[in-house]
Amino acid sequence: MKRGQCPKCGSCRVIPNARIIDRNGEYQDMSLSVRIETKPGALLFKGAKEFELKAHICGECGYAELYAAEPGKLWDAQLSSQGNGAPQGKR
């Protein structure tokens, strides 16, 4: 779908990177996101990190796919949530 064609109906009317709103009561609209706790074993500060999800939506049949906006950072957070493993590079 990122290549601009719907896998369901074959249409090229694909809306890329649409922001998905996550309504939060009276508060400001948030973007839909995933949360990863980089220190899930910690008592208080679990090092939660949030990553925005974007949708690619077909303008013909309405099919929608979700993609993390920053997959590299998401994966780094996932790595650091498994043990103390600092991903390659910093720290």
Site residues for Zn ion per CB under 5 A: 6, 8-9, 11, 58, 60-61, 63
Select 11 or 33, whichever has its Cβ closest to Zn ion: 11
CA distance 12 to 32: 25
Q: Return the number of the residue (34 or 61) whose C-beta is nearest Zn ion.
A: 61
Residue 37 or 60 having the CB closest to Zn ion = 60
C-alpha atoms less than 13 angstroms from C-alpha of 69 in its C-beta half-sphere: 14
- Given a contact cutoff of 8 angstroms between Cβ atoms, the answer to whether 61 and 15 are in contact is no
Q: How far is the CB of 13 from Zn ion (least distance, A)?
A: 8
